[in-house]
Amino acid sequence: MEDKVALVTGAGRGIGRAIALELASKDCAVALNYAHSAEAANEAAAEIIKSGGRAAAFKADVSNAAEVKEMFSAAAASLGSVNILVCNAGITKDALLMRMKEEEWDGVLATNLKSLFICAKEAVRPMLKGRWGRIIAISSVNALRGSAGQCNYAAAKAGMLGFVKSLAREVAAKGITVNAIAPGFIDTDMTASLSPELRAKFIEAIPAARIGTPQDVAKAAAFLASEDASYIQGQVIAVDGGITM
């Protein structure tokens, strides 16, 4: 994959960082997007460069079309035209209905769903020109408690998966695949903050009897980005230890 350029949103830490490092290990050049984690994203880029790869970090609010356009332009100038897009950026706002603010509801939909539309629209044009591309959407982590948080998450996730299937049908004949990954309970900064009792409760519900790692998701993303996955289209791969069974 040495001739490929990947852009990973939300790549400063957690799953996004793991995906960026995994793609770099496959010889992809990697553009690491971040919104707030500048230090972490630049450290990850430096790690890739130190290992002999090509990488650069780019700040952008992925729900803002102008910033996304500027990011893609800067990434292309630095690394080459993006032909692998991994939309990983996502947030949760977990609250009961009476406590959830309208801007919190809107923020989740903007970051988790609208960003996929904006980034994919920017990425597809050069992919069509090159008749090769990979778009991978990473479904954000579920809300943990609040009913409104659950509804908000479900709305964003349903919209994302519907978008993936619709776009996959649109571009399938052009050498572009569009798929999604639905992670289960993954060991990230957010889940690390849970109480030992709640973590144990989640593990008890997982057939694999363990919490997933960011690398588990990264391996699946690298596969979907490869030539080996060229006939996989419009699918959702659950990386969840079997919990959705």
* CATH number of the domain to which 171 belongs: 3.40.50.720
> Mean pLDDT in the chain?
90
Tokens standing for 122? 């920017």
- How confident is the model over 5-53, as pLDDT tens digits? 999 999 999 999 999 999 999 999 999 999 998 999 999 999 999 999 9
Residues in the chain: 245
> What's the confidence (pLDDT) of residue 47?
97
pLDDT score of 148 more than 60? no
pTM: 0.92
- Check residue 44 and give its pLDDT: 97
- Distance separating alpha carbons of residues 19 and 57, to the nearest angstrom: 14
Q: Could you tell me the two tokens for 159?
A: 């919209």
Residue 199 to residue 187: CA distance in whole angstroms: 10
Indicate whether 245 belongs to any domain. no
Closest CA to 166 of 225, 116, 131, 224: 116
Q: Which residues are annotated as a binding site for NADP(+)?
A: 10-13, 88, 153-157, 186
45 in a domain, yes or no? yes
Cα(225)–Cα(78) distance, rounded to whole angstroms? 21
CA-CA-CA-CA dihedral for 225, 229, 235, 238, to nearest 10: -70
Q: Helix-strand-coil percent breakdown of the chain, rounded to 5?
A: 55, 15, 30
Which of these, 199, 160, 200, lies nearest to 182 by C-alpha position? 160
Instruction: Give the integer Cα–Cα distance in Å for 178 and 200.
Output: 35
Residue with tokens 């430096």: 46
pLDDT over 80 at 96, yes or no: no
- Is 65 part of a structural domain of the chain? yes
Residue 198's pLDDT is what? 82
Is pLDDT larger for residue 233 or for residue 92? 233
Q: Is residue 14 part of a domain?
A: yes
- Tens of pLDDT, residue by residue over 100-142, are 788 877 878 888 889 999 999 999 999 999 999 999 999 865 5
| 220 vs 202: CA distance, rounded Å | 22
Domain enclosing residue 221, as ranges: 5-239
Q: Is the pLDDT of residue 93 over 80?
A: no
Domain assignment present for residue 87? The answer is yes
Enumerate the active-site residues: 153
Confidence of residue 152 (pLDDT cuts 50, 70, 90): low
Tell me the per-residue pLDDT of 174-202, one tens digit each, with 9 for 90 and over.
Answer: 999 999 999 988 998 777 777 888 888 88
Surface-to-core class of residue 185, CB atoms within 10 Å of its CB (0-12 exposed, 13-18 middle, 19+ buried)? buried
Rounded distance between C-alpha atoms, residue 245 and residue 236, angstroms: 14
In 21-175, the DSSP E strands lie at: 29-34, 55-59, 84-87, 133-138
Domains of the chain: total: 1
Q: Look at residue 108 in the predicted model and tell me its pLDDT.
A: 80
> Does pLDDT of 63 surpass 90?
yes
**Is the confidence at residue 155, as pLDDT, over 80?**
no
Residue 244 lies in a domain: no
Q: State what percent of residues in the chain have pLDDT above 90.
A: 69
**Higher pLDDT, residue 244 or 220:** 220
Instruction: Using DSSP, state whether 5 is helix, strand or coil.
Output: strand
Confidence check: pLDDT of 143 > 50: no
